[in-house]
């Protein structure tokens, strides 16, 4: 007879935190959100920690090199997606690792033969007013000029004008050689009263752009996540199919931590992948595994050598695994159960293996609930897909800006490698476990993450906790009824935003 769990599984929305005692030392400034990323022994520290408990999902529509740099600046970590050619993923990792704080790879680039229409389209797409003009239109081609909004007037031009005819040519630009330091670059910017400084090599090729606005931005990122060489820490996803070729390429590119991207982690395929990593690299390569939803799955991956373990199946906003296959478990119950197994494993072995809650986050308060339930950090897809830094297009739908967002189990992603069904030669998904969708555009990552972290800190103050471990120790959680969920929002009032009374004029 099948095994039946006695209690139903629950989602985050079915729980609330009950306030605890807050003393005068528990303030927003005193709260530390640093958390371990990979396993460590009792009495030691994790070799890799993150300064905020947020990571971006291993998804085509979420995590590329641009997201990796943006999130690392805020103290979090991105796992660059693996459903792409090995060389392309390795190049993304290398690009993120080579990023020098303050030195930006040009994201908006055109050829001299491009037109004003191309400039305007690129500005609308990337939201950058500065366009580098290179001989081949690439970010590291030979620099021939720059186009900014000061170089053209839309009202007096028809859009067919060639870039080479109205750009500011190279001979009129202030540039700097490749050996220029950030301090020197900023001094040049201020002395010449310019907004951007192209950095070029000995052959005239564009290497970086240094912007005046980034000077203060760099100083405003005290939590940025750096390795010992002061480079941003970068993660990457791998699968259990081509790992023998993919992992060496990623390691060569400089990746700091890996994670197996799979629909379900309690499998022989993940055990073999982890074993291969340990045999080839020992403990020098850090790799997480998952996903699982109970203690049994956790213990399997822990014994197989995982450095961290992801929790959650079917809870993502674009995931339809539960609907298609009836497989999964409520995210809150999964985190609670796996956290208990993690703590028992630590008591028994002296090895602490961090767990990552992946999926099921709808509201900002769910972040704190997941952490209080035992998660060491969170992995988010929809949340990060909404921002400028995600790799998808910003489109206008019904008068509102949206961002494209699709699941790795969708036909669009064609990521059959993450489904460990034993069909090694299967090149097509037999059925979809994810959808293709849109999410509301939310602006830049920095401002939104700051708001979310502010809410987490505020909730932790209410619980009397100055750190994530202290929150997990002190937290008091209560299940809520359907009626009390309604009570928790605005109710029994008519919101002004929904109605304007007849004859009433707002001023």
405: its two tokens = 């967002």
Give the Cα separation of 427 and 420 in Å (integer). Answer: 13
Enter the DSSP assignment of 279: H
Q: Which candidate in 246, 271, 299, 418 is catalytic?
A: 418
Q: Which candidate in 82, 196, 319, 463 is catalytic?
A: 319
Strands 54-56 and 77-80: parallel
Ramachandran angles phi, psi of 374, nearest 5°: 125, -10
Name 166's Cβ contacts closer than 8 Å, sequence gap at least 6. Answer: 116, 147, 151, 152, 157
Strands 257-260 and 287-292: parallel
Q: What residues does 41 pair with on adjacent strands?
A: 351
Give the Cα separation of 104 and 89 in Å (integer). Answer: 19
Name 406's Cβ contacts closer than 8 Å, sequence gap at least 6. Answer: 60, 61, 318, 412, 413, 434, 435, 436, 437
For 148-286, strand residue ranges (E) read: 168-169, 176-177, 196-200, 206-211, 235-238, 257-260
Give the Cα separation of 291 and 313 in Å (integer). Answer: 7
Q: Would you call 463 a catalytic residue per the annotation? A: no
Name 323's Cβ contacts closer than 8 Å, sequence gap at least 6. Answer: 314
Q: Would you call 82 a catalytic residue per the annotation? A: no
Strands 176-177 and 196-200: parallel
358: its two tokens = 């992946």
Which contiguous run of DSSP H or E holds residue 313? Answer: none
Q: Are 142 and 170 in contact (CB under 8 A)?
A: no
Helix, strand, coil shares of the chain, percent, nearest 5, are 35, 20, 45
79: its two tokens = 């796992």
Strands 400-406 and 436-440: antiparallel
Q: Are 163 and 147 in contact (CB under 8 A)?
A: yes
Q: How far is CA 55 from the centre of its chain?
A: 5
Give the Cα separation of 63 and 383 in Å (integer). Answer: 12
Element counts in the chain: helices (H) and strands (E): 16, 24
Q: Are 388 and 446 in contact (CB under 8 A)?
A: no
Enter the DSSP assignment of 162: B
| Residues labelled as active-site residues | 319, 418
């Amino acid at each position: 007879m099948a095994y039946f769990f006695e209690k139903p599984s629950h989602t985050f929305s079915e729980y609330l935190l009950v306030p605890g005692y807050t003393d005068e030392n528990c303030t927003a400034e005193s709260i530390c959100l640093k958390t371990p990323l990979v396993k460590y022994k009792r009495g030691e520290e994790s070799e890799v920690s993150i300064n905020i408990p947020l990571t971006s999902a291993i998804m085509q529509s979420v995590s590329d090199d641009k997201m990796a740099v943006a999130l690392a600046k805020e103290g979090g970590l991105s796992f660059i997606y693996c459903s792409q050619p090995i060389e392309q993923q390795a190049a993304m990792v290398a690009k993120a690792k080579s990023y020098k704080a303050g030195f930006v790879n040009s994201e908006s680039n055109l050829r001299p033969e491009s037109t004003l229409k191309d400039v305007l389209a690129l500005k609308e797409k990337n939201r950058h007013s500065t366009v580098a003009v290179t001989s081949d239109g690439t970010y590291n081609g030979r620099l021939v000029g720059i186009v900014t909004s000061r170089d053209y007037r839309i009202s007096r031009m028809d859009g067919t004008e060639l870039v080479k005819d109205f750009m500011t040519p190279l001979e009129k630009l202030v540039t700097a050689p490749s050996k220029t330091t950030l301090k020197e670059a900023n001094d040049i910017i201020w002395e010449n009263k310019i907004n951007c400084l192209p950095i070029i090599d000995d052959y005239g090729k564009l290497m970086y752009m240094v912007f005046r606005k980034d000077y203060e931005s760099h100083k405003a990122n005290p939590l940025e996540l750096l390795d010992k060489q002061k480079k941003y820490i970068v993660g990457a996803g791998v699968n259990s199919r081509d790992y023998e070729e993919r992992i060496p390429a990623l390691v060569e590119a400089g990746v700091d931590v890996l994670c197996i991207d799979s629909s379900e982690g309690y499998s022989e395929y993940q055990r073999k992948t982890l074993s291969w990593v340990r045999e080839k690299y020992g403990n020098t390569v850090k790799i997480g595994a998952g996903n699982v939803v109970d203690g049994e799955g956790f213990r399997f991956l822990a014994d197989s050598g995982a450095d961290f373990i992801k929790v959650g199946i079917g809870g993502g906003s674009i995931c339809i695994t539960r609907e298609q296959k009836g497989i999964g478990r409520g995210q809150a119950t999964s985190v609670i159960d796996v956290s208990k197994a993690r703590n028992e494993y630590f008591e028994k072995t002296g090895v602490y293996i961090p767990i990552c809650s992946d999926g099921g986050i709808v509201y900002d308060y769910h972040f704190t609930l997941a952490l209080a339930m035992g998660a060491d950090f969170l992995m988010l897809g929809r949340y990060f897909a909404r921002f400028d830094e995600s790799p998808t297009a910003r489109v206008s739908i019904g008068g509102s800006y949206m961002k494209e967002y699709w699941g790795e189990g969708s036909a669009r992603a064609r990521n059959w490698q993450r489904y460990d069904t034993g069909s090694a030669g299967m090149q097509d998904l037999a059925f979809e476990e994810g959808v293709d969708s849109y999410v509301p555009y939310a602006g830049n990552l920095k401002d939104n993450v700051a708001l979310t972290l502010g809410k987490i800190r505020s909730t932790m103050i209410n619980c009397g906790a100055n750190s994530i471990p202290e929150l997990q120790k002190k937290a008091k959680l209560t299940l809520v009824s359907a009626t009390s969920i309604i009570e928790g929002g605005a109710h029994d009032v008519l919101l002004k935003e929904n109605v304007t009374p007849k004859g009433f004029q707002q001023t």
